[in-house]
Chains A and B, each alone.
Chain A
């Protein structure tokens, strides 16, 4: 009979919950090497920390890179014994749905929260390296400024132009197939992986140049998403105008890196191809209408 939660540590003791079975079961220490900076290009340096991982039976489930950063934050001492500061990074949901924690881990861009150390550093003494994304200005350490991505969403009018929040009945009907296609596109969490991986997407620090810089795969795919919606399509022309202009779809060199790194497996190249066709048709139409 339960008398209190901590009679048996029941509420807080969840040791032994499966921790992505792949790693070794014993306790071990790994090294985490982090590229730090006070702001973009300022005091750029590498720091290395040790992180202790409990044995499988003592673990509260999976250990990810965020848990390592949390451990470092509570006692930020580098391997050579120097007292440092907690590492700055963005995080939110911790379950790969908010897009906050994108960084470059062992050379590959991805979310830190879904990056399990057993996959990346299975042995005692293994090293994990963390770097900020290179296509965005660094705010501090692993935190980068992705406002260009959000601005680009506005430039393609990534919304359905509804007539306000009044009670006006249901939206347009759609088939389950259409829904499934739109759903997939709608899971884009603006994480920036596809932009980091894209050879055509380059760092731009000057906000006034955002408009003419490449919008990137995520935004092209979002334009497609809204063009697919019956009401959203009423703004198709404006979206295609933007994508036909500077920074638009012509900047894409079709290297297909983007689709390989998207954590949500969004069919980005399909979106790019579809929007490429739409833009071409749009141009022809504009040409014949004499504009």
Chain B
């Protein structure tokens, strides 16, 4: 290996888990790092993460779980939209990452024997989530923050905190060679040279106005790279978390760990003469007074296998649908998340952090009273488009599997098409039934419509990597030596963590984000070092200063323009309208016409944005300026989110279109790729194959498993599921479901 030249350095933008893991990895290899962050890195958004981090572990392994299962679950949860080699690699690394955090001193909860405790999380029937109270993100962040401080003390890391990234810089070969950034105290704009730039700037929650994200999660940094020519992948895949508490300034998350630890979701309801659930006449009354038979545990009833821990998109749509049908608590948009049957000690030890949040912000004690929650925008599966190199055995094995699976897929696709037509028809029938009920139609008429519904056909199962080669580790993930892992289409510009589009596909499983962020930093940090060492281009340090000066000038003039503009439009008002519009058109339920309408709204907002006035035109510590500038970039990023949603005429994971129900693998088992068109200021959408050579795209169905003995509380009523049609994809393919076993509760947590 070549030793780094004295002048070579790497820029990392963002000091969340992904940015810090990258910083540590790169600094450790002897390469100096300049680390930029809007806020002191210790205060980055990652500290908000509550529930935990997934990894195969000793106990789960003895119950039949493995890294392979983790990989498979992640694909299944994501509706197969992921490139498979990176997911495979991440799952293999997960246990090592937990060990590393353990060595760094993260106080993971312990069993009485001193082992790391585990909890259940969405989309898995195994306990494979490691946690540190209900502030896991904070604890992991602090461990990395401490290691970064250590390297900083040793002079290997330079921190630029309260500096805002404004744009990436490229040399005349198109290779990234630095950034332009602004000091948010002095407002000085400066260029920095770097032989590689890692973007680790997190998600874009604020594009949707209120979300569970921190205030700096505007997505502006990603948008600036996008506008500078970086591609953006799967923009339309936005995760709405089922359980948040609304607030005037943000939606505060009540972690999935609440359900993982046994929390149950229900609404007050009563059964009518035919045994159908009907809204409760007194649904606003003290929940403690409502008897069990008047509580509808709708998730447990509709998804007997996974119950309350179905993946987020499903839980969210169900809660949404339930409120829509008038079942919401007190007739409003809320349902109960109930922990009150659990012991106080256990709740304080395992969920203390979130219980405290609920107490502080709602003023009630979840130990005593069920919590009132509603879905909130949470996470972006989409992000900057990145590449990678598969490991050496991947091509060979994938080829073999594709030869077996392609003919199966060819037979399945027409069936899927017919099934989707059935889904769509059944959906329309449901609407007619609802109308009929509203108009007081007779039960006979309703029954007739019910009977006209058709059942989708079963699909043929696929052959997977495990069927051919077992579940042991194989070199079919990412190539650890390749310099391009998680590099964007701009050479030398990388994207790590939530800001890239890898690993999670159509929906992210809970507790997989902390993993993917850290994994990116550690695994792909090495790729960055390799890129810089092998760098065939002119070192950034010897490039002419004109490249850097031009970047600074451009940003200075943008700032000047903003400060001097006096059109009277208010950036706060524009951001608010953007948030409401995006939440309405591009979250839980989407339709073509509604998305079209959003494009018009974006036109209007763009136009108004060009006429904003700032209420602070000073050149010192001007947060108003920084915010107003971000609003423009948020609009630019909203564009591909809407256009991607419009172009994707199917439903997959958290992208759910009532005008195109069902997954359409023939057209859309593909990555959405958005490119910014600088001449129009709009984005262009195209589709690209996903690398899926290891596991075939079986139908995603969480209502059944082969041998389900999961630890979910037993449903309180075994209603005919037909009475309460699932809003998720009911294309039931039991044959493809995995062999899952109940995890034993060998762990005891003492307090």
Pairwise interchain contact B620-A154, C-beta atoms closer than 8 A: no
Pairwise interchain contact B107-A186, C-beta atoms closer than 8 A: yes
List residues 546-596 of chain B with CB under 8 A from any CB of chain A: 570, 572-573, 576, 580, 583-585, 587-591, 594
Determine, out of B148-156, B391-399, B464-472, the stretch whose residues face the partner at the interface: B148-156
Pairwise interchain contact A190-B102, C-beta atoms closer than 8 A: no
Smallest CB separation, A201 vs chain B (Å) = 19
Of the A-B pairs whose beta carbons lie under 8 Å apart in the complex, a sample of 6, sorted by A's number, is A5-B583, A98-B44, A99-B42, A176-B750, A179-B110, A182-B107
Smallest CB separation, B377 vs chain A (Å) = 9
Smallest CB separation, B335 vs chain A (Å) = 11
Pairwise interchain contact A20-B249, C-beta atoms closer than 8 A: no
Pairwise interchain contact A61-B245, C-beta atoms closer than 8 A: yes
Smallest CB separation, A119 vs chain B (Å) = 9
B-side interface size class: 35 or more
A88 interface residue per 8 A CB criterion:
yes
Pairwise interchain contact B153-A154, C-beta atoms closer than 8 A: yes
A74/B110 contact (C-beta < 8 A), A1-B431, A17-B334, A64-B248 known: no
CA of A175 to CA of B139, assembled, Å? 18
List residues 75-132 of chain B with CB under 8 A from any CB of chain A: 96, 99-100, 102-112, 114-115, 132
Determine, out of B168-176, B317-325, B633-641, B689-697, the stretch whose residues face the partner at the interface: B317-325
B700 interface residue per 8 A CB criterion:
no
B708 interface residue per 8 A CB criterion:
no
B714 interface residue per 8 A CB criterion:
no
Instruction: Give the contacting residue for A18; candidates B216, B323, B364; CB below 8 A.
Output: B364
Hey, which chain A residues are within 8 Å of B25, CB to CB? 165
Question: Using an 8 Å CB-CB cutoff, how does the interface string of A1-39 with B read, 1 for contact, 0 for none?
Answer: 111111111111111111111100000000000000011
Hey, which chain A residues are within 8 Å of B588, CB to CB? 2, 5, 10-11
Q: Which residue of chain B lies nearest to A70 when distances are taken between CB atoms in the complex?
A: B249
Determine, out of A204-212, A225-233, A239-247, A271-279, the stretch whose residues face the partner at the interface: A225-233
B749 interface residue per 8 A CB criterion:
yes
Instruction: Give the contacting residue for B361; candidates A14, A38, A116, A180; CB below 8 A.
Output: A116
Pairwise interchain contact B132-A183, C-beta atoms closer than 8 A: yes
Pairwise interchain contact B147-A159, C-beta atoms closer than 8 A: yes
CA of A230 to CA of B126, assembled, Å? 31
Question: Using an 8 Å CB-CB cutoff, how does the interface string of B715-751 with A read, 1 for contact, 0 for none?
Answer: 0000000000001000000000000000000000111
Q: Which residue of chain B lies nearest to A84 when distances are taken between CB atoms in the complex?
A: B615
Pairwise interchain contact A143-B621, C-beta atoms closer than 8 A: yes
Pairwise interchain contact A139-B621, C-beta atoms closer than 8 A: yes
Q: Is the interface of A mostly helix, strand, loop or mixed?
A: loop
Pairwise interchain contact A76-B43, C-beta atoms closer than 8 A: no
Instruction: Give the contacting residue for A150; candidates B40, B111, B332, B430; CB below 8 A.
Output: B40
Smallest CB separation, B208 vs chain A (Å) = 9
Smallest CB separation, B384 vs chain A (Å) = 23
B45 interface residue per 8 A CB criterion:
yes
B349 interface residue per 8 A CB criterion:
yes
List residues 133-159 of chain A with CB under 8 A from any CB of chain B: 139-140, 143, 146, 150, 153-154, 157-159
Pairwise interchain contact A176-B587, C-beta atoms closer than 8 A: no
Q: Which residue of chain A lies nearest to B152 when distances are taken between CB atoms in the complex?
A: A154
Hey, which chain A residues are within 8 Å of B108, CB to CB? 179
Chain A residues proximal to chain B, CB less than 8 Å? 1-22, 38-39, 59-64, 66-67, 70, 73-76, 83-86, 88, 90-100, 113-114, 116, 139-140, 143, 146, 150, 153-154, 157-162, 164-165, 167-171, 173-177, 179-180, 182-183, 186-187, 189-190, 226, 229, 231-232
B214 interface residue per 8 A CB criterion:
yes
Hey, which chain A residues are within 8 Å of B431, CB to CB? 1
Q: Which residue of chain A lies nearest to B727 when distances are taken between CB atoms in the complex?
A: A2
Hey, which chain B residues are within 8 Å of A168, CB to CB? 99, 103
Report, nearest first, the 3 A-B pairs whose CB atoms are least far apart: A171-B102, A20-B363, A14-B246
Told that A92-B214, A226-B105 touch, could you supply 6 new A-B pairs with CB distance under 8 A? A6-B584, A10-B323, A116-B360, A139-B185, A159-B147, A183-B107
B502 interface residue per 8 A CB criterion:
no
Smallest CB separation, B639 vs chain A (Å) = 19
Hey, which chain B residues are within 8 Å of A146, CB to CB? 40
Pairwise interchain contact B589-A5, C-beta atoms closer than 8 A: yes
B7 interface residue per 8 A CB criterion:
no
CA of A259 to CA of B258, assembled, Å? 30
Hey, which chain A residues are within 8 Å of B115, CB to CB? 173
Instruction: Give the contacting residue for B749; candidates A38, A63, A176, A190; CB below 8 A.
Output: A176
Q: Counting chain B CB atoms within 10 Å of each CB, which of A76, A88, A146, A190 scores highest?
A: A88
CA of A11 to CA of B591, assembled, Å? 14
CA of A61 to CA of B248, assembled, Å? 6
Pairwise interchain contact A176-B111, C-beta atoms closer than 8 A: yes
B711 interface residue per 8 A CB criterion:
no
Pairwise interchain contact B248-A190, C-beta atoms closer than 8 A: no
Q: Which residue of chain A lies nearest to B115 when distances are taken between CB atoms in the complex?
A: A173
Smallest CB separation, A158 vs chain B (Å) = 6
B629 interface residue per 8 A CB criterion:
no
Hey, which chain B residues are within 8 Å of A64, CB to CB? 247-249, 361
Pairwise interchain contact B333-A14, C-beta atoms closer than 8 A: yes
Smallest CB separation, A173 vs chain B (Å) = 4
B473 interface residue per 8 A CB criterion:
no
CA of A88 to CA of B620, assembled, Å? 11
Hey, which chain B residues are within 8 Å of A154, CB to CB? 149, 152-153
CA of A17 to CA of B104, assembled, Å? 40
B441 interface residue per 8 A CB criterion:
no
Hey, which chain B residues are within 8 Å of A16, CB to CB? 330, 332-334
Instruction: Give the contacting residue for A91; candidates B47, B215, B349; CB below 8 A.
Output: B215
Q: Which residue of chain B lies nearest to A182 when distances are taken between CB atoms in the complex?
A: B107
Hey, which chain A residues are within 8 Å of B135, CB to CB? 97, 187
B533 interface residue per 8 A CB criterion:
no
Question: Using an 8 Å CB-CB cutoff, how does the interface string of B170-211 with A read, 1 for contact, 0 for none?
Answer: 000000000000000100000000000000000000000110
Smallest CB separation, A125 vs chain B (Å) = 20
Hey, which chain A residues are within 8 Å of B146, CB to CB? 158-160
Pairwise interchain contact B104-A162, C-beta atoms closer than 8 A: yes
Hey, which chain B residues are within 8 Å of A177, CB to CB? 750
Pairwise interchain contact A4-B45, C-beta atoms closer than 8 A: no
Pairwise interchain contact A76-B363, C-beta atoms closer than 8 A: no
B28 interface residue per 8 A CB criterion:
yes
B477 interface residue per 8 A CB criterion:
no
Pairwise interchain contact A164-B28, C-beta atoms closer than 8 A: yes
Pairwise interchain contact B43-A99, C-beta atoms closer than 8 A: yes
Instruction: Give the contacting residue for B39; candidates A3, A73, A90, A187; CB below 8 A.
Output: A90
CA of A86 to CA of B571, assembled, Å? 12
Pairwise interchain contact B332-A17, C-beta atoms closer than 8 A: yes
Pairwise interchain contact B374-A98, C-beta atoms closer than 8 A: no
CA of A112 to CA of B319, assembled, Å? 32
Smallest CB separation, B609 vs chain A (Å) = 15
Smallest CB separation, B238 vs chain A (Å) = 12
Pairwise interchain contact A62-B248, C-beta atoms closer than 8 A: yes
B389 interface residue per 8 A CB criterion:
no
CA of A67 to CA of B246, assembled, Å? 13
Q: Which residue of chain A lies nearest to B138 when distances are taken between CB atoms in the complex?
A: A97
